[in-house]
Amino acid sequence: MYRQTKNRIGLLAIAVFVAVSVKAGTPSSGTITDAQPTVTYAAGPFLVPNVTDNVNSTPTCDNTVPAEQCDTFALTVNVAASDAQTKHITVSISFPISAGEFDVFVFDSNGNLVGSDTAGGEPSVATIPATSGNYTVVVDPWNPLGQSFTGTIALESIPPQPPPASGIAPRYQVYPAPPTAGGANASGEPSIGIDWNPNVASLKYGTVNLGGVAFFTSNLNEFRVTFDDCSSPAKTVWQDVSSPVETVTTLDP
């Protein structure tokens, strides 16, 4: 008797589980216009992950299969043709526990994928052009953690491009050791850190080392390399500062 009762409870739990998981979003459709630029909806809770987009890049959705459940939202966009030049539409999926993941996909009326976000994080945000037409927003509960989500679809102005940077662009410079540096180019090892502001007065040579001081070990020699970043490109001065003991008894300090 106990075993039969337990089995009935288990079947009831499965039935309730599926019924809750396939609950449709509210509402299940909406329209974006210039006069009504925002639509919100909610769906969930979702208890079983759907990771089918790992295989095909887009999810397999079948709400009769616990591991293939998705939420679909029918989106109609009816905006001015000029909006395509100055605006876009964002689909933002937010949820309480940021450790979860809801992937979002937007398809046009021909089934073409026009926007998606599978990067994880909260919220998930996909952006599509502000072009009139019928779209389907698919939310895949990739790692739902039992959560529901809130979807916000908004017609927004495209942010202006930032002004071009002024000054010299970041560069990468190579400073090989000079021939007088005792073979430093052959097997030298730089120090891990650089002293950008030498505190020892004797290390300050006017404008020579405003860019910092590094040390460079090469076989039995120790070099101090100072950088002058007042010039462009910066200049370097290599000085042999090897200890008399090091040059006799050791390879590395």
Over residues 67-80, the mean pLDDT reads: 97
- The more confident residue out of 14 and 212 is 212
Domains defined for the chain, CATH in brackets: 25-157 (2.60.120.380), 184-249 (no CATH)
Question: Does the structure show a pLDDT above 60 at 21?
Answer: no
Question: Does the structure show a pLDDT above 80 at 69?
Answer: yes
Query: For residue 240, what pLDDT is reported?
Result: 82
- The more confident residue out of 222 and 119 is 119
Query: For residue 7, what pLDDT is reported?
Result: 39
If pLDDT is split at 50, 70 and 90, which confidence band does 104 have?
very high
Distance CA 78, CA 35 (A): 10
Cβ-based neighbours of 74, under 8 Å, separated by 6 or more = 28, 29, 30, 134, 135, 136
Query: For residue 9, what pLDDT is reported?
Result: 32
Antiparallel, parallel or unpaired: β 124-129 and 38-43: unpaired
Using DSSP's 3-state secondary structure scheme, residue 192 falls into: coil
Query: For residue 159, what pLDDT is reported?
Result: 92
Over residues 68-88, the mean pLDDT reads: 97
Question: Does the structure show a pLDDT above 70 at 251?
Answer: no
**Closest Cα to residue 177, out of 251, 119, 238, 221?**
238
Antiparallel, parallel or unpaired: β 29-33 and 124-129: unpaired
Quote the mean pLDDT of the chain: 82
Supply the DSSP symbol for 221. Answer: E
- The more confident residue out of 202 and 74 is 74
Burial class (CB in 10 A: 0-12, 13-18, 19+), 143: middle
If pLDDT is split at 50, 70 and 90, which confidence band does 186 have?
low
20-51 in b/e form (b: 16+ CB < 10 A) is ebbeebeeeebebeeeebebebebbebbebbb
Instruction: Look at the pTM and tell me if it is higher than 0.75.
Output: no
- Cβ(253)–Cβ(246) below 8 Å: yes
Query: For residue 187, what pLDDT is reported?
Result: 64
Antiparallel, parallel or unpaired: β 221-228 and 212-218: antiparallel
